[in-house]
Amino acid sequence: MLTETEAHRNPLSELQVMQLLHPDAKESLQEAAQKDPGLPRTSPTWSTWLRSLPEHFSTKHGPRPLPDAADIVIVGSGFSGASTAYHLLCELQYPGKVVMIEARDACSGATGRNGGHMTAPNYRDFLMDVERYAHRMAVEDGRVEPTEADREIAVRMTVETRRFDDEGVKANIAFAKEHNIDCGYRQGENVQVYDTPEVYAIGQKHFQAAQKAGLTGARWLSKEEMKRVLGTTEYAAADAVPGAHMFPAKFVWYLLDQAIASGLELHTHTPVIDVNNGVVTTKDGSVVTAKHVVFATNAWTSHLVPELRGHIIPLRDQVITVPRTDSATEPVLPSGGLWMSNGSEYAIELSNGGRLIMGGFYEESGRHQAGNANDAELIPGVSTDLREALVSVPPLQKFPYDKPASPEIHEWTGIIAVSNDSAPYVGKLERLSSDKYSAWIVAGHNGEGMPRCFLFGKYIAQKLAQSFGMHVADPIAIPRAMKPNPHRVSNLDYFAWNLE
């Protein structure tokens, strides 16, 4: 079996890495990618964030009659949908009718159950993205192998996405500060640890390539610094990049409240079962007709847009949290968070309330979680891995809590949306649109939506406003890699290449 190190040497999508790590599951992974995620589960596990859900979202905005028509229907009330609504109604002051339809509670998808970590990847996997984008260009051009010219463009595309993520984190923090949002954000440095000299050597290659391409902001920690920040020198290496975290749902509930005050009509507990040419049908048989529909449905998108099966794939992930037992307020973990195993495992320490939040570990459980959209159940093997990590990962050992089986430990699952080529889909779905109706998508964030969704929503809002003839003073650009161009939407070869 390939080790994770070997897998990360190849220019593979996350799903392909997983496939290589689980060779016995090869068939089931490809089948899993094609599975209908269905509607969001009705009784999901309850995250620590969602325990603070303001009551009015359920009582005032719960199931109620829908209007017959709207200018814009946004399906999904997570970070992407909420940011779209906020920017449209509050920033651009769009005067038309905007309806948001959410299957469950407000912000109860990935945003309401994620790890709260908000760190741009900087140089991490830089060369992998370059190869992914270069292969994409080759496939789009009917070729099997990319040329050096493809790779040069792919380097620029990768730098563009990394800078966009960085800007996204800054925009989130600036907004939280300006609006005084009580979301416990903390900004500082995120530390990534390298377990072995082999993974460190790979990391150095990504680092050097990124630096050569002009990306700055990352640095290696000295052994003394490692000892001070992580409490150990047993790692082969560690780096620091600008990092941040926050209580994600509080930020999003703020956006929703502001949008509602500016005219958004929110309908929670109202699953959408079909969208056809602007006709939106909900589970209770109600129908709303819209000029524009925004699919802010992330992991569940391909239930409503079946042609995206195999493009946007649900992946179940799990999070654990434990409260701090001493009264000190100085953080024990690095201020911007901690990445382990190339970012697929992470931990943050909340600034308000003193909690450790840790997530990931879905590959170690011995079973892949691709194609699984069931956030109503925990994954027993992952629960074991997460609890073990609490006591065995050196920097986490510094966190004071009732070990090893604190009754305060709380876990939940959530559904990440992995995309076939590891880039999100953000923009207009031309193939579903006509001269009377437009379909928009903002989904497939590959477990890294926190730095991005705010600006994605702003971009979609600006595009919508422009389509109604409104002037947009400061249009933002989306990185080329993330646009849902027709080639990308129709071409599943991105998933198939390089599997032998």
Q: List residues binding ligand FAD (CB under 6 A).
A: 39-40, 75-81, 101-104, 108-111, 113-118, 271-272, 296-300, 303-304, 317, 319, 346, 359, 414-416, 443, 445, 447-451, 453
Buried (b) or exposed (e) across 345-365, using 16+ Cβ within 10 A?
Answer: bbbbbbbeebbbbbbbbbbbb
Report d(CA 375, CA 103) in Å as an integer: 14
Closest separation between CB of residue 14 and ligand FAD, Å?
Answer: 12
CB of 269 to ligand FAD, least distance (A): 9
Q: Compute the least distance from the CB of residue 42 to ligand FAD, in Å.
A: 10
Rounded to a whole number of angstroms, the minimum distance from the CB of residue 360 to ligand FAD is 8
Name the CA radius of gyration of the chain, rounded.
22
Count of C-beta atoms within a 10 Å radius of residue 129: 25
Q: Which is nearer to ligand FAD, 103 or 240 (CB)?
A: 103
Q: What are the backbone angles phi and psi of residue 441, rounded to the nearest 5°?
A: -135, 140
Minimal distance, residue 27 CB to ligand FAD, in Å: 25
Indicate the residue among 103 and 356 with the shorter CB distance to ligand FAD: 103
Distance of CA 333 to the CA centre of its chain: 22
From the CB of 248, what's the least distance to ligand FAD, in Å? 7
Closest to ligand FAD by CB, 215 vs 379, is 379
Q: Output the smallest distance, CB 342 to ligand FAD, in A.
A: 14
**What angle (nearest 5°) sits at the alpha carbon of residue 478, between those of residues 216 and 138?**
85
Sheet of 237-245, strands arranged across: 219-220, 237-245, 186-194, 337-340, 345-349, 355-360, 312-323, 410-419
CB of 410 to ligand FAD, least distance (A): 13
Instruction: Compute the least distance from the CB of residue 485 to ligand FAD, in Å.
Output: 20
When the beta carbons of 111 and 150 are compared against ligand FAD, the nearer one is: 111
Nearer to ligand FAD, 31 or 274 (CB): 274
Cβ nearer to ligand FAD, comparing 303 with 324: 303
Token pair of 375, please? 């956030």
- As a whole number of angstroms, the distance between CA 213 and CA 129 comes to 13
- Do residues 129 and 436 make contact, with C-beta atoms less than 8 angstroms apart? no
- Residue 15: count other Cβ atoms within 10 Å of its Cβ: 25
Beta carbon nearer to ligand FAD, 150 or 257:
257
In angstroms, give the least distance from the CB of 168 to ligand FAD: 9
In this complex, which beta carbon is closest to ligand FAD, that of residue 126 or of residue 200? 126
Considering the complex, state which of residue 113 and residue 355 has its C-beta at the smaller distance from ligand FAD: 113
Q: How far is the CB of 227 from ligand FAD (least distance, A)?
A: 26
134 vs 290, beta carbon nearer ligand FAD: 290
Whose Cβ is closer to ligand FAD: residue 150's or residue 165's? Answer: 165
Nearer to ligand FAD, 324 or 445 (CB): 445
**Angle between helix 26-34 and 14-21 (nearest 10):** 150
CB of 230 to ligand FAD, least distance (A): 19
Q: In angstroms, rounded to a whole number, what is the distance separating the alpha carbons of residues 224 and 244? A: 23
Interatomic CA distance for residues 425 and 452, integer angstroms: 12
